[in-house]
Amino acid sequence: MTQAITVENLTKSYGSGEDALAVLENLSFGVDDGEFVALLGPSGCGKTTILKLLAGIGNDYQGSIRVHDDPITGPSGDVAMVFQQYALLPWKTVVDNVALPLVLQGKEGTAARTAAVDWLTRVGLDGFEASYPEELSGGMKQRVGLARALAADPDVLLMDEPFGALDYQTKSELQTKLLELWETEAKTILYITHDLEEALYLADRVLLLSCRPTSITREIAVPFDRPRRSRRVEIEGSAEFQELKRILRSELGLST
């Protein structure tokens, strides 16, 4: 298995001198091609910082970050990010939001819009092409965010608590949609969450992070067979799931 993401001795501080805040110190990990890895850790430990550096946002760090062995030196078409707060352009229609990365990649406008319409159908938003983001619910906005990220056909999807702001039912629907897309598109996903059950339902592997400066304190291989979409209740009701949840809670210092 080749490695999609390789992070070696990543060290990052914000500020300088006495006021410097050491966030990452010699952090190393890898994510295999096509793997789904969840990052869990205390608030403020540096999870978003890791994703931003992988997305090529900021190059003020030490160590090495590579995607398919290419050093990350800035934003790249190989990597797309999905944010909790959607980050859609409010003055553009839904279809134009999704088409934007394709246009930026040099695709001609009509072809980009045709591809965007196709992606909107795949995320369950056909009929909303001409709507504006403000006309959509949170779950629908995040479907647009997913379509936009996938339309650019990146190898790696970085997802920063993408469903954290959604109600339980919408979150469940989107988790299942994400698994379906991950299975058909064979993307590599690095996924930040605070939700232990979500991490265990979605991921192949969970990396637990310590407080700042952050390091990986434990790695858990999630044993449930795929596909999981039709077996969620069975998986979450299993003794193994409950035991893994207990281990995660205890590692994170949460009351059990």
Ligand X SMILES: Nc1ncnc2c1ncn2[C@@H]1O[C@H](COP(=O)(O)OP(=O)(O)OP(=O)(O)O)[C@@H](O)[C@H]1O
Sites of contact with ligand X (CB under 6 A): 14, 21, 23, 41, 43-49
For residues 190 and 5, what is the distance between their CA atoms, to the nearest angstrom?
9
Residue type, 150: L
CB of 256 to ligand X, least distance (A): 21
Q: Which residue, 85 or 176, has its beta carbon nearer to ligand X?
A: 85
Q: To 10 degrees, the CA torsion angle through 234, 235, 236, 238?
A: 80
Residue among 17 and 106 whose Cβ is closer to ligand X: 17
Rounded least distance, CB 84 to ligand X, Å: 9
Closest distance of CB 41 from ligand X, Å: 6
Query: Does the N-terminal peptide bond of residue 213 adopt cis geometry, omega within 30 degrees of 0?
Result: yes
What is the smallest separation between the CB atom of 241 and ligand X, expressed in angstroms? 23
> CA dist 200 to 29, 72, 123, 172, Å?
19, 29, 23, 13
Shortest Cβ 212–ligand X spacing (Å):
6
- Closest by Cα among 23, 27, 56, 60 to 42: 23
- C-alpha Rg value of the chain to the nearest Å: 18
72 and 65 in contact (C-beta within 8 Å)?
Answer: yes
- Nearer CB in complex with ligand X: 138/213: 213
Residue closer to ligand X by CB (options 58, 237) is 58
Cβ proximity to ligand X: between 48 and 188 the closer is 48
Closest to ligand X by CB, 20 vs 186, is 20
Secondary structure (DSSP) of 190-241? EEE-S-HHHHHHH-SEEEEE-SSSB-EEEEEE----S--GGGHHHHHTSHHH
Q: How far is the CB of 105 from ligand X (least distance, A)?
A: 28
* Integer Cα distance of 149 and 243 in angstroms: 34
